[in-house]
């Protein structure tokens, strides 16, 4: 089912009567059957957007459509949504079977059909053998799957997930996000997944929506957004390690960092911010590139080596010192103190104006 938001706005009024625009004139179309990740830092408006879709909050302006049906003022119980929170919200005194069955009992579904659907849903989430266990007997990942099964058993039109993995440890988080993706593909239900974790969003989503201050910054396939960020905020938010940002200048169609040429540009002369992904550095083993530094720290994990490189500074204050990170092949066996010449991959370098707007 396609979801459409038109000029959606939500304003909260603080105790001092000041206004906070949590969602600011958002227009967005979510294709039917897709899993969309709403991504951004705390306070960016992603959870508020989800609650507006759910009907738990009422928008100040704008409209929400589920297919052709406007649901802007429809109460939550009549929107046909399944909602999963980060804290599972299972009934501790009920078994897995009873937790999944509960929504169907509320809907007064015929008893035999309700039991059948409960077993089918438990099978879908891989918990058929645990139907008679209580939540306290399950791992965090298993409890989250019960919550997803309970949301799906009533056959909702939309599945809404609010940071569903944040309470899990790293291993369970990885397993559960793979399960969510599998379940979504099998059911083909339109799903909106809220998270602040960019790795989580990029691994699970068909498309991601990056938000800041209640405004959509960019939407697209995860790798497309990573490879072609629309502004400096998006470039910095996606990627681990974070993109390196240098003060640079363009002179005579050449791009300079610290008077060293790192590339070419068709832009006019002037100051720019230069973003280079850590994987965008190639070690020039012939040492012909003018872009050279002494390596400060080296960290090797498996096939990759992360180099931490100090940028020259006229200040003796350690707080004024800046560095950048480069990820290179561990086979190069680079050590601290080595002088390394870098070539920058053009497709991994982005130019921004001083306000962070993308130039090239």
Range of the domain at 320: 244-352
- Asked whether the beta carbons of 287 and 278 are under 8 A apart, the reply is no
Last residue of a domain, one of 237, 261, 277: 237
Same domain (yes/no): 220, 344:
no
Indicate whether 233 belongs to any domain.
yes
Characterize the bridge pairing of strands 207-212 and 35-39: parallel
Same domain (yes/no): 54, 182:
yes
Last residue of a domain, one of 196, 212, 237: 237
Same domain (yes/no): 7, 141:
yes
Indicate whether 332 belongs to any domain.
yes
Q: What pLDDT, on the 0 to 100 scale, is given for residue 31?
A: 95
CA distance linking residue 231 with residue 223, whole number of Å: 15
Least-confidence region, from 73-82, 165-174, 254-263, 276-285: 165-174
User: Which CATH number does the domain housing residue 130 bear?
Assistant: 3.40.50.300
Indicate whether 19 belongs to any domain.
yes
Q: Which residues contact 107 (CB under 8 A, 6 or more apart)?
A: 154
CA distance linking residue 262 with residue 254, whole number of Å: 8
Same domain (yes/no): 214, 291:
no
pLDDT in tens, 41-80: 999 999 999 999 999 999 999 999 999 999 999 999 999 9
Same domain (yes/no): 181, 275:
no
Report whether pLDDT(318) > 80. Answer: no
Indicate whether 360 belongs to any domain.
no
How does residue 173 score in pLDDT terms, banded at 50, 70 and 90? confident
Last residue of a domain, one of 237, 257, 282: 237
Report whether pLDDT(123) > 60. Answer: yes
Indicate whether 144 belongs to any domain.
yes
Phi–psi pair at 103, nearest 5 degrees: -60, -35
CA distance linking residue 176 with residue 193, whole number of Å: 13
Residue 236 corresponds to which tokens in the numbers above?
């910095």
């Amino acid at each position: 089912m396609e979801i459409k938001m038109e000029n959606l706005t939500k304003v909260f009024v603080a105790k001092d009567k000041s206004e906070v625009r949590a969602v600011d004139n958002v227009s967005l179309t979510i294709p039917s059957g897709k899993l969309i990740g709403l991504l951004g830092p705390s306070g960016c408006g992603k959870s508020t957007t989800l609650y507006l879709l759910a009907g738990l909050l009422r928008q100040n302006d704008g409209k929400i459509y589920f297919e052709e049906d406007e649901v802007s003022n429809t109460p939550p119980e009549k929107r046909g949504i399944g909602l999963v929170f980060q804290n599972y919200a299972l009934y501790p005194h009920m078994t897995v079977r009873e937790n999944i069955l509960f929504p169907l009992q509320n809907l007064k579904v015929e008893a035999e059909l309700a039991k059948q659907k409960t077993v089918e849903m438990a099978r879908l989430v891989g918990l058929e053998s645990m139907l008679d266990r209580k939540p306290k007997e399950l791992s965090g990942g298993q409890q989250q799957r019960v919550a997803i099964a309970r949301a799906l058993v009533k056959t909702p039109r939309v599945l809404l997930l609010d940071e569903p993995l944040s309470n899990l440890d790293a291993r369970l988080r990885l397993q559960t996000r793979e399960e969510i993706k599998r379940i979504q593909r099998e059911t083909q239900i339109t799903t909106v997944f809220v998270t602040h974790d960019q790795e989580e969003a990029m691994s699970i989503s068909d498309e991601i929506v990056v938000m800041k201050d209640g405004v959509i910054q960019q939407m697209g396939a995860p790798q497309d957004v990573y490879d072609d960020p629309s502004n400096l905020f998006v470039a910095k938010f996606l990627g681990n390690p974070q993109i390196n940002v240098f003060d640079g200048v363009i002179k005579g169609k050449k791009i300079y960092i610290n008077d060293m040429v790192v590339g070419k540009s068709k832009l006019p002369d002037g100051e720019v911010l230069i973003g280079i992904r850590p994987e965008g550095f190639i070690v020039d083993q012939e040492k012909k590139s003018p872009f050279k530094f002494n390596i400060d720290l080296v960290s090797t994990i498996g096939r990759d080596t992360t180099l931490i490189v100090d940028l020259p500074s006229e200040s003796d204050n350690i707080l004024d010192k800046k560095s950048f990170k480069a990820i290179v092949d561990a086979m190069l066996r680079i050590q601290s103190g080595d002088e390394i010449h870098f070539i920058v991959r053009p497709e991994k370098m982005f130019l921004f104006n001083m306000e962070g707007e993308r130039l090239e």
